[in-house]
């Protein structure tokens, strides 16, 4: 029997209606969509819901990218999220940094994915025309996991958890390449780059942004500049700093820098307490 598919903006109304009518259903969650399958009046029915408000054309493009990557005849790679350098900080001290600029890599993941052969030319060019959120979700969808539950009345039972480890490794492969490129730039322009976060550099100095943009173009990654007012580094204790980036328009973007080793510090404190107890016991 053919399944009727409906695209709806929210899953909550569908869930309430099925529960009220006592109709059991399978519900599958991913980061971006919720899929509900049920048999209603003898008709197999599927609801594809985007609680994030994605339109049908956006959902269609996301599925197109995911299906293409899943269809690649390429092996799984031995790369995991722990292997990726998503951010790196220079030796930042407390205080305000003026004369600063943000340099963003344009469509970083998308361009590298194409360079590495994960996207066809047609999909790559189509992706350049969609909005940034759709493009990011489309590439991220190859790494997402899904959880399926059987819902019947007030009970919900986990049926399966699925993740495509092969395509997820492609996502980390691209992220790893970007991390290497960003780290290489930070090391080369150590006196100018304060830190990078995923695909954005935060730079001090007037001439440095142009030099860094030229360096990134050599890697096939054009960039754009975002004017900033200042960057404020504030010590938040022994294990974290708060770095607040303020744009020229006054918008604040917070970043949290972890530092030190909390577990090692706590272990040393524990050993110190034991040592003090032993010293007291010798008197």
Q: What pLDDT is stored for residue 280 in this prediction?
A: 45
Cβ contact 6:46 at 8 Å: yes
pLDDT in tens, 106-132: 999 999 999 999 999 999 999 999 999
217 three-state secondary structure? helix
Lowest mean pLDDT among 44-48, 94-98, 179-183, 262-266: 262-266
Q: Chain-wide mean pLDDT for the chain?
A: 90
What lies within 8 Å, CB to CB, of 23 at 6+ separation is 38, 39, 40
Cβ contact 228:248 at 8 Å: yes
Lowest mean pLDDT among 20-24, 102-106, 133-137, 263-267: 263-267
Q: Tokens at residue 76, please?
A: 């799984």
Cβ contact 28:148 at 8 Å: yes
Residue 194 has pLDDT above 50, yes or no: yes
The hierarchical CATH code for the domain 77-120+165-258 is 3.90.1600.10
Lowest mean pLDDT among 129-138, 181-190, 256-265, 271-280: 271-280
Q: What pLDDT is stored for residue 103 in this prediction?
A: 98
Every domain of the chain and the residues it spans: 77-120+165-258
pLDDT in tens, 44-53: 999 988 877 7
Residue 251 has pLDDT above 50, yes or no: yes
**Burial call 25-60: b when 16+ CB within 10 Å, e when fewer:** bebbbeebbbbbebeeeeeebbbbbbeeebeeebbe
Residue 86 to residue 125: CA distance in whole angstroms: 26
Residue 281: band (very low, low, confident or very high) from pLDDT cuts 50, 70, 90: very low
| 249 burial level (CB within 10 Å; 0-12, 13-18, 19+) | exposed
Q: What pLDDT is stored for residue 54 in this prediction?
A: 84
Residue 111 to residue 174: CA distance in whole angstroms: 9
């Amino acid at each position: 029997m053919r399944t009727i598919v409906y695209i709806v903006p929210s899953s909550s109304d569908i869930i309430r209606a099925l529960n009220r009518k006592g109709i059991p259903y399978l519900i599958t969650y991913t980061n971006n969509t919720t899929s509900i399958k049920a048999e209603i009046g003898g008709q197999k029915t599927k609801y594809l819901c985007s609680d994030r408000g994605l339109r049908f054309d956006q959902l269609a493009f996301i599925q197109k990218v995911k299906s293409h990557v899943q269809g690649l005849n390429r092996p799984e790679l031995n790369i995991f999220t722990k292997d990726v350098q998503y951010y790196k900080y220079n030796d930042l001290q407390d205080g305000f940094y003026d004369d600063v600029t943000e340099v963003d890599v344009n469509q970083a993941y998308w361009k590298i994915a194409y360079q590495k052969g994960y996207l066809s030319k047609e999909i790559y060019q189509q992706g350049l025309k969609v909005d940034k959120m759709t493009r990011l979700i489309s590439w991220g969808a190859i790494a997402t996991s899904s959880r399926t539950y059987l819902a019947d009345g007030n009970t919900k039972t986990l049926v399966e958890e699925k993740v495509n480890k092969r395509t997820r490794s492609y996502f980390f492969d691209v992220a790893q390449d970007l991390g290497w490129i960003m780290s290489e730039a930070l090391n080369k322009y150590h006196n100018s780059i304060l830190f990078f976060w995923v695909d954005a550099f935060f730079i001090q100095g007037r001439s440095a942004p142009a030099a860094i943009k030229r360096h990134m173009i050599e890697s096939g990654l054009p960039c754009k500049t975002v004017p900033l007012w200042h960057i404020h580094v504030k010590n938040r204790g022994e294990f974290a700093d708060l770095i607040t980036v303020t744009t020229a328009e006054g918008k604040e973007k917070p970043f949290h820098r972890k530092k030190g080793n909390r577990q090692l510090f706590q272990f040393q404190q524990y050993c110190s307490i034991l040592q003090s107890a032993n010293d007291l016991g010798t008197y």
